[in-house]
Chains A and B, each alone.
Chain A
Amino acid sequence: MIDSLSGFVAELREIGIPVSMVEAIDAAIAIEHTDLSKADNLRATLGATLVKNSRHYPAFDAAFDVFFGLRLASPTGTDRERDGDGGPFAAGSGGGAGSGSDEISDAILRALLAGDHDALRRLVAAAVDMYAGMQPGRPVGGRYYAYRVLRRLDSDQLMVRLLVALGAAHTESELEDRTVHASAEELVDQMRSEVEREITSRLVADRGAAQVAATRRMPLIEDTNLVHATRTEIEEVERAIAPLARKLATRLSQQRRHGEKGRLDVRRTIRRSLSHGGVLLEPQFKKPRKSKPEFVVLCDVSGSMATFARFTMQLAYAISSELSKVRVFAFIDGLDEVTEYFGPGVDFAEALMSMSSEADLVRSDGHSDYGRSFRDMWENYADAVTSKSTVIVTGDARNNYRDPGSEYLDRIAERSRALFWLNPEPRRFWDTGDSVMSRYAQACDAIDQVRTLRQLERFVERAALPAARRSRLVS
C-alpha cells in the first residue's frame, strides 16, 4: 500500500497538485484508519489528506481511478463469465447493431432505472468484453475504446428510452421537462463513467498504473492554455477567477500596507487618554494615504485573441475593488472604450456580446491593426493615461503587415507609470510572419508570455506592486 501511495503522490505532483511531505505522511497514517473494502472510502481518505483545492478534484479522481480503481473494486469475474459467454456476443465484433447490443442495452436500461449498481457493473463489463476490441500493450489512454463501446450501446438511443421511461411525454411544463431531462442525463452519465472505469481498470491490469496515468494526465485548470480553451474549460476558468482575484487583492493591499503605520496623531491620542484618567495608554496613528494603482487595459479582441482578452478583462474587473480605477479599451482595427459594458453584477458573457455588437471596433476589414488602434488611443483617450496608471496591452502583435505605429505606443508609455504587454503566443513565434513584437519592445517595461491562469496571476501580482515603477525613469 505504501508503495502504491508514493507512486500516487508522485503522479499528483506530476499533474501539478502540490502535495507536501507532511500531507503524504498524514495520508499514510489515515489509511490505517480506513476500511479498504470499498474504493470510495480510500478516495475520501486520500482526497481529504492530499488534495486541498476543490478545483483539483477532477484530476485527482481521474488519477485515483487509474491507481486504485482496479485494486479495490470487487472482483466480478464469475459474473462476467456468466454474462459474457453467450454465443451471439462475439468478441470485438465490428458491423452494425446486432440483436446482442439490443439485448444488453435493454438490460442496462433496466439496471439504470432500478438503480442496481452491481448489475450495471456486470453488464458494462460484458459490453466492454464484446465491443471494445482492446489490444494489450498499446500505449493508449483508452478514450477510443470507450468511444467504441458507447457507440455500440448507443447512448443517444438510451437517453431517448430513459426519457420515455421517466415520463417525458407526459410533462406539462418546461420546468418539469427539464427536471426529467436532468435525471435522464444523470443516468446516462452513470453508465458512461462505469464504462470508462471498466476500461481503465483493464488498461491498468495490462500496463501498470503509473504508465496509464501518464498517458491520461489532464492539465489543471490553472495550467490550461487560455487561448484554445474549450467551452467547459472557459466555465471552469471563470469560476476560478473570483477566488483568485480576492487572494490577489488581499495580497496586494497587504503589500501596500506593509511598513506604513503613519505618524502619531497627538490630538486623538490625548482625547483617547481621557477615559483612562489622562494616562497615555493607547497611542493613535494617522492613517497613511493609500495611493491605489489604476489600470488601463488595451485588449486585442480579434478572433484568435478574444478568449484570452476575456480572461484578462475579467481578472482586471475582479480586482478592481482594490484598484481605484480600471478602464478597458478593446480594439480590432479600431479602438473604443468598453469600460461601461462591464459593471458590477453584470453577466460577463452577455456584456461581451453587447460589446462586440455595439462598440466601434472595426473600421475597415476586421483584421487586427495595432498601429491604427494605438493612434486612436492616443488621439481620443490620451487623458485616460496618467502618471498613476499602469497600462496593460494584450495581444499577439500580429499586425497583418501594416504600419506598427510604435511611436503612438511610445507616447502612451511615456505618460504612464508603467506599460506591460501580455502576449499569449509562445516566445519562439514572436517576430515571425506578421508579428512585430520587438518593434513595440522599446515602449514596454516588460513583455510577458502569458498563456495560463497561473502565469496571469503571477503577472498581476507583479504589475500592481509599488515596486513595479518604470525602469526607464530611474535609470
Chain B
Amino acid sequence: MTGEWTTPQDVASALESVGYLADARIAQVAFLANALSKPILAEGPAGVGKTALALALAEATGRRLVRLQCYEGLDEAKALYEWDYHKQLLRLQSEEGAAWDEIEGDIFSESFLLTRPLLEAIRSKEPVVLLIDEVDRVEVETEALLLEVLDTYQVTVPELGTMTAVTTPIVVLTSNNTRELSEALKRRCLYLYVPYPSIERERAILVSRIPDLPEKLADKIARTVSAIRQLPLRKAPSVSETIDWARTLIALGIEDVNDEVTSDTINVLLKYQVDIDRAAKEFSLDTPDG
C-alpha cells in the first residue's frame, strides 16, 4: 500500500498535484480505502468525476491503471480469465501420441491462460489501481464474479488453484445508480456518494482545469450551471460538460455570461432538445430552433 499517506490531507494534496480536487469527504474515504485495504464504491450521477478519481489515484501514486469496463453481458471469460483453447488445440495436435497425463498438465498451465483485467490486477508484480467502471451495468449474477476479488484480492482458477494478489491493489468501482447493487457487493466496499459539486467546488475545479479562465467568469459559469441543474431535466449538465462550456466560452473570446451567450451555447451543456426547450422556457431565452 501507499505508505507515505498518513492523513487524509496527504491524499487530498497528492490528488490535487495531478489536477483532481477532492473535497474532505472524498479524501477521507480514499485515505480509509488505502489504510484498510478496502475497495471504494463511488456512486453518483454521470460525469461528476467518479472515474476521474480512479485515474487521479493511479497518477498520484504512480501505479498502473487496470480497467474493467462493465457492460450488459460481461462474463467470466471477459472479466477474469479464459483458456486459450485454439492454442491448446494446436498443442494437442502437435503432440499426437504423447501420454495424456503429460499433455493435460501442460495445456492447463499459465502459458495457455489469457488473463483478463481482474486476474491481471491480481497477478501484476508492480502495484496497480483497479478500476471497475459502471458496475451497475452488469447483471446481478455477474456481480458475484467480483466478490472473491473484492473480499480477499484473490482469484481461483480450478485447474491452477488460488492466486493471491502479490501487491494489494487500490480498487475503485463506479456506478451511475441505474439499478441498485446487491447487498453482498456493497458490504465489501466503502461507499462514496459523489453528488454534483457545490458552486465553490465547481468554480475551483474550473480554475484548476483551465488556467487561463478568469476567476470572475468561472464563478459566473459555476453559478449558472448550478441554476440549470435545479430544473427537472432529463440529463443535467455534468462537470465535464461545465468544463467544455467554459472552454467554448474562452474559444469564442467571451468574457461575461449573459442570456445571449447562454442561448447560443447551451447545447454544450444540454444534450436533449426537451431539456434545451425547458431551460429556454424557464429562463426566457431565445434559442435557435432545431
Residues of A within 8 A of B (CB): 18, 20, 22-23, 26, 29-30, 33-35, 40-41, 43-45, 47-49, 51-54, 57, 172-176, 178-179, 182-183, 186, 242-244, 246-247, 250-251, 254, 276-277, 279, 281, 345, 347
Whether the pair B283, A173 counts as a contact (CB closer than 8 A) is yes
Whether the pair B24, A182 counts as a contact (CB closer than 8 A) is no
Chain B 140-187 interface residues, beta-carbon cutoff 8 Å to A: 140-141, 177-180, 183, 186-187
Known A33-B36, A175-B224; judge A247-B179 contact (CB<8 A).
Answer: yes
Q: How far is the CA of A43 from the CA of B224 in the complex (A)?
A: 30
Whether the pair A279, B179 counts as a contact (CB closer than 8 A) is no
Task: Using CB atoms, name the residue of chain A closest to B139.
Answer: A250
Whether the pair B258, A172 counts as a contact (CB closer than 8 A) is yes
Closest Cβ of chain B to A406, distance in Å, is 39
Q: Which of these binds chain A: B25-33, B46-54, B119-127? A: B25-33
27 contacts between A and B (CB under 8 A): A20-B187, A26-B190, A29-B36, A35-B7, A44-B28, A48-B190, A49-B32, A52-B189, A53-B180, A53-B186, A172-B259, A173-B258, A174-B259, A175-B283, A175-B285, A176-B258, A178-B283, A179-B220, A246-B178, A247-B179, A250-B139, A251-B140, A254-B139, A254-B140, A276-B89, A281-B85, A345-B234
Known A20-B187, A47-B191, A242-B178; judge A30-B32 contact (CB<8 A).
Answer: yes
Whether the pair A243, B180 counts as a contact (CB closer than 8 A) is yes
Q: How far is the CA of A389 from the CA of B157 in the complex (A)?
A: 45
Closest Cβ of chain A to B203, distance in Å, is 12
- A-B contacts, CB under 8 A, total: 118
Interface of B is mostly: helix
Closest Cβ of chain B to A42, distance in Å, is 9
Whether the pair B226, A33 counts as a contact (CB closer than 8 A) is no
Q: Which of these binds chain A: B37-45, B106-114, B238-246, B247-255? A: B37-45
Q: Is B199 positioned at the interface, with any CB of A under 8 Å from its CB? A: yes
Whether the pair B141, A44 counts as a contact (CB closer than 8 A) is no
Q: How far is the CA of A34 from the CA of B24 in the complex (A)?
A: 12
Whether the pair B28, A54 counts as a contact (CB closer than 8 A) is no
Closest Cβ of chain B to A455, distance in Å, is 17
Q: Known pairs A47-B193, A182-B227. 11 more at Cβ < 8 A? A: A22-B187, A23-B187, A33-B32, A49-B190, A54-B43, A175-B262, A243-B179, A246-B179, A247-B179, A254-B140, A279-B89
Chain B 239-290 interface residues, beta-carbon cutoff 8 Å to A: 258-259, 262, 274, 282-285
Closest Cβ of chain B to A278, distance in Å, is 12
Q: Is B64 positioned at the interface, with any CB of A under 8 Å from its CB? A: no
Q: How far is the CA of A250 from the CA of B180 in the complex (A)?
A: 10
Specify which of A35, A48, A347 is in contact with B232 (CB 8 Å cutoff).
Answer: A347
Closest Cβ of chain A to B245, distance in Å, is 14
Specify which of B36, B43, B141 is in contact with A254 (CB 8 Å cutoff).
Answer: B141
Q: Is B35 positioned at the interface, with any CB of A under 8 Å from its CB? A: yes
Q: Is B207 positioned at the interface, with any CB of A under 8 Å from its CB? A: no
Q: Is B192 positioned at the interface, with any CB of A under 8 Å from its CB? A: yes
Q: How far is the CA of A87 from the CA of B226 in the complex (A)?
A: 44
Chain A residues contacting B283 (CB-CB under 8 Å) are 173-175, 178
Task: Using CB atoms, name the residue of chain A closest to B198.
Answer: A186
Task: Using CB atoms, name the residue of chain A closest to B228.
Answer: A175
